[in-house]
Amino acid sequence: MSQDGLEKGGAMTEQEFIQQYGDWKLGFRGYYKYIFTFANENLEVSAGGDKDDIYRCSIKPTMTVRGLSDQAGTIRRAELNGEVIFDD
């Protein structure tokens, strides 16, 4: 088991991911085809994907994982230190 409590290659649900990493702060990295990408030195998160989910979202330069989920809708993918820990 790794330091973050996950089995190598283990899958998480979106809810488990948000519960564990929800307070982590991320900076805006990009936007492509309705998907926002935010990251810090260890974690990269992509959210959105549906134009109706993101139509009224309020994206800030720095957000928490939980804030990104609240604003952009579904978390689509997350990588921790280059390893995929969540993939919708």
- Report the predicted TM-score, pTM, of the whole model to 2 decimal places: 0.82
Owning domain of residue 34: 25-87
Beta-strand relationship, 75-80 and 35-39? unpaired
15 belongs to a structural domain: no
Q: Residue 29: what pLDDT? A: 96
For 63-68, what is the mean pLDDT?
Answer: 94
Average pLDDT, the chain: 86
35 belongs to a structural domain: yes
Is-contact 49 28, C-beta < 8 A?
A: no
Q: Residue 9: what pLDDT? A: 46
pLDDT band at 73 (very low <50, low <70, confident <90, very high): confident
What's the domain count of the chain? 1
